[in-house]
Amino acid sequence: MGWFNMGLLFFSSMLFALASASSRNLPIIPFDEGYAPLFGDSNLVIHRDGKSVHLSLDERTGSGFVSHDLYLHGYFSASIKLPADYTAGVVVAFYMSNGDMFQNNHDEIDFEFLGNIRGKDWRIQTNVYGNGSTNIGREERYGLWFDPADDFHQYSIVWTDSQIIFYVDNVPIREVTRTESMGGDFPSKPMTLYATIWDASDWATNGGKYRVNYKYAPYVAEFSDLVLHGCAVDPIEHVAKCDNAEAIPSSVTPAQRIKMESFRKKHMTYSYCYDKVRYKSPPSECVINSQEAERLRKFDPVTFGSGRRHHGKRHRHSRGSQTEAASF
């Protein structure tokens, strides 16, 4: 297919570009130039500067927006401020998907922010699906070193033909490297960027134990500094348009890798690679880190140790595309 080959050639050449490039070098675009409302009507409010958006959840509905274009690889980023106070059951998502085009074999790259009860912190979940591989959940969960409801923080996704990197404030927190064994499970088809806020009471907080309490509504998530920097794909002709592309940070530098390892050591609370309840043997792409394995085993000896019993259930949920998450 033309778009695939062109995208691979273009982004393979970019791997040799400025790997340490910062998103500060990439253009921030007005909302109307890159995005359109997805759902929620008046629950989506565009700021007067045209570059900031508020998404809210109330008793009526959640809300969301979507990029105008499909992209095959690139750098996608937003500064986000999450709702404060009691947020159990609330999910804010910043993700890429092509579920509307490929309902049975969609790809997806997720940042999901999971709300909590008062006094408990927000949690971040990242996930990757390729070719409809929802039977293999590739979730990881983390705490943060700051309160994401106090101020804006930057969340970014880098996607190339061989790598996916998740960043928080320019600190890489997860790196997914394509392996031959993954086959089509690595996202490889053009995707659209989405941002949503919605009621996920059935699974988001302690497996559904704590639900959204609309006494605290509206729940408002604020988005700004929107960056869409990738290889846009014509939805009809499937031709990649990369004329205006610049270098993107396409690999983790040695200094960033030290920060990533430190983050994962301090803040990661779940990784599918170490879940002995779900997988008797780790999926083939997993690279087992003995220190991570030992720390998670001490954190949750049932899930990451013996695997004999499990406190929690799997729930399938939808926000325009189907993914599967486990509560831990």
- Catalytic positions are 108, 112
Torsion sign (Cα): 247, 253, 258, 260: positive
Report the SS3 class of residue 12: helix
Q: Report the C-alpha gap between 8 and 136 in whole angstroms.
A: 25
If phi > 0 it is left, if psi is from -120 to 50 it is alpha, else beta; for residue 304 that is alpha
Rounded CA gap, 109 and 242, in Å?
A: 21
| Tokens 């990439």, residue located | 26
Residue 315 has a CB neighbour count (10 Å cut-off) of: 15
In this structure, the chain runs to a length of: 328
C-alpha dihedral (79, 36, 318, 327), degrees to nearest 10 = 0
In angstroms, the CA 231 to CA 250 distance is 14
Give the Cα separation of 3 and 198 in Å (integer): 33
